[in-house]
Amino acid sequence: MTPDWEALRRASRDVAKRAYAPYSGFPVGAAALVDDGRIVVGCNVENAGYGVTLCAECGLVSDLIAGGGGRLVAFTCVGGPDAVPTMPCGRCRQLLWEHGGAALQVDTPAGVMTMDQVLPMAFGVAELDVVSGKETKTEDN
């Protein structure tokens, strides 16, 4: 599936306008293409208890699952007052790994990269095989 990167970037800029970021002043918008053709989005939602803040990617994953699930194919994110391309934080890379795996295409300021370039040697479901006693590895984890 070939991503329409301009449509994804537009969706991320649009959702960034709805971010709730009164504490950092750093609105973030994220958008991704799902393997069934859907576009899912999320924005950051901050909290007076700063550590409770939800990153934009949390909202995006919630949109993915609540909308029927699927695998993320292509991801983009913008942040800051000028909505410039922004990398997902470390925790959010882990979220993206879970739902997109190694092959997820990630829009970065240095061009499109794969998720395994963005999060090398990732921890994933395959590591849990040792306790689950059953094969949980999928083709891209």
> Interface with ligand THU by CB under 6 A: which residues?
21, 24, 26, 28, 44, 46, 53, 55-57, 88-89, 92
Distance CA(130)–CA(26), nearest Å, equals: 41
DSSP helix/strand/coil, 130: helix
Q: Which residues contact 107 (CB under 8 A, 6 or more apart)?
A: 5, 8, 9, 74, 75, 76, 77, 85
Which is closer to ligand THU, CB of 15 or CB of 33? 15
Residue of 6, 57, 135, 139 marked catalytic: 57
Query: Catalytic site residue 57?
Result: yes
Distance of closest approach, residue 64 Cβ to ligand THU, in angstroms:
16
Which CB, 53 or 108, lies closer to ligand THU?
53
Task: Supply the minimum distance, in Å, between the C-beta of residue 134 and ligand THU.
Answer: 33
For helices 56-66 and 90-100, give the axis angle rounded to 10 degrees: 20
Closest contact distance (angstroms) between CB of 139 and ligand THU is: 26
Q: Which is nearer to ligand THU, 22 or 69 (CB)?
A: 22
- 33: Cβ contacts below 8 Å, ≥ 6 apart: 1, 3, 4, 8, 39, 72, 73, 74, 75
Q: Which residues are catalytic?
A: 57
